[in-house]
Amino acid sequence: MKPTKPSILLTSCLLVVALATLPDRLRAQSTAAPNSPDEKAASAKGSSSTKEVVSKNFTLQGSKVWTDTGITLEPGQRVVFSAEGKLRYSDVKTDNGPEGLTRGFKDLIRILPFNDAGRGALVGRIGDADVAQPFLIGTSKDVLAPITGKLAIGINQSESDTGDGSYTVKVTVYAADGSVVREVARQVPSITGIDDSLFAKIPRRIGDKEGNPGDMVNFLIIGNEDEMKKVFTTAGWVKVDADVKATVLAGALASFSKESYLTMPMSPLYLFDRPQDYGWAHAEPITVVASRNHLRVWKAPFTVDGRVLWVGAATHDIGFEKDQRNNGLTHKIDPDIDLERDYVEKTLSSTGLVAEVTHFLPKNPMQQAKTATGGSFHSNGQVLVLKLADAAGTSSAENR
């Protein structure tokens, strides 16, 4: 189910290949983080409110990563940032401003809040620190808040970094434009079409090619393919390569990024008599071999209330253990798989793209079992159900 020794050796080789192909200096990317608010809507002339809610000035010292602004944003509120100042790190000969340093190969061994920008860049975050994806602010930014959440601003550096200097940052919040409809993850007691008759058609567990039962089906997503892909990428999840060749090619050609290492192959498992349609992973590159949040999803051969249904199984790799099928080495999952189900809920709900959330307890719920590799897991048996906001102009019953 999980990568064995050959896969780990391949990952090590991939690391060497990636380093060998890196240019001496990599351009800092100016794109926002995967879950950054809808900047297009924020910058569209005439579409944003001009009613000021709050305006504050902050001084960020180079010795600290994150600063709580004390501002709680509401969905659709416009936030305008402007910043100036200089920092200098002891291992760098020149100063840098809020746009950050040009990225270099040493970023590989640093865990930065936002790996798509250089060290020292000004970044922001809206929502729960454990799941919210940071976004690049730089010298200026104009964004819309996707959810209700606390606003934090920070310096894109590791906890061990200390920059000599400071940034001054002005944050101005404007009222939400009533014409911009923002979907939020509403907790509801039930969702139309989610009932025991539906679960009678969904296997409780996925399995390997030989039919050995494996991970528990612990979440459902209602929404078309584009909506499903958007909510994962917006939440910072990375699509996992389908095979080893694809991973080698990606590692050889891609510029250095967290995504290059997250795409380590995920073994095929089966539901509805076929391997997963998508694999998604969430982790830092330095720990991806031993630990990553990962999941598989399958498009169901039936719809829910006229919309496409995706069936998924999510687990959290926390180390290694013996594969009981072949005495090989495999990943050990956290036996409390409800924690990973809850992690999926928090990360996806933080995007503003989830309309409704509920939990369903099927008849004869699965509460304890073993995976195909022999590891054990336990659960309260509930299945997470996420109904995505229906994208305008697309068919909710879109065929793949």
Q: Tell me, yes or no, whether 65 lies in a domain.
A: yes
Strand 354-360 relative to strand 205-207, pairing: unpaired
Task: Give the 3-state secondary structure of residue 186.
Answer: strand
Q: How many domains does the chain have?
A: 2
**Domain, as residue range, for 91:** 31-174
- Encode burial over 55-86: b for 16+ CB neighbours within 10 A, e otherwise: eeebebebeebbbebebebebbbbbbbbbebb
Task: Identify the domain boundary among 146, 174, 202.
Answer: 174
Query: What number of residues does the chain have?
Result: 400
Q: Tell me the sheet residues that pair with 297.
A: 278, 312
Query: pTM for this structure?
Result: 0.73
- Encode burial over 135-149: b for 16+ CB neighbours within 10 A, e otherwise: bbbbbebbbbbbbbb
198 and 144 part of one domain: no
Task: Identify the domain boundary among 138, 157, 174.
Answer: 174
Please state, in angstroms and rounded to a whole number, the distance separating the CA atoms of residues 55 and 79: 10
159 and 222 part of one domain: no
Q: What is the CATH number of the domain that holds 45?
A: 2.60.120.430
Task: Identify the domain boundary among 174, 195, 230.
Answer: 174
Closest CA to 143 of 127, 160, 131, 126: 126
42 and 154 part of one domain: yes
Q: What is the pLDDT along the chain (400 residues), one digit of tens a residue?
A: 444 444 444 444 444 334 343 333 333 333 333 344 444 444 444 445 679 999 999 999 999 999 999 999 999 999 999 999 999 999 998 999 999 998 776 665 677 888 788 999 999 999 998 888 899 999 999 999 999 999 999 999 988 899 999 999 999 999 998 766 666 899 999 999 999 999 999 999 999 888 888 899 999 999 999 999 999 998 988 888 655 454 444 444 344 444 444 556 678 899 999 999 999 988 654 444 445 688 999 999 999 999 999 999 998 766 555 555 555 555 556 788 899 999 999 999 989 999 999 999 999 898 888 776 667 788 999 999 999 998 643 333 333 3
Q: Tell me, yes or no, whether 24 lies in a domain.
A: no
167 and 187 part of one domain: no
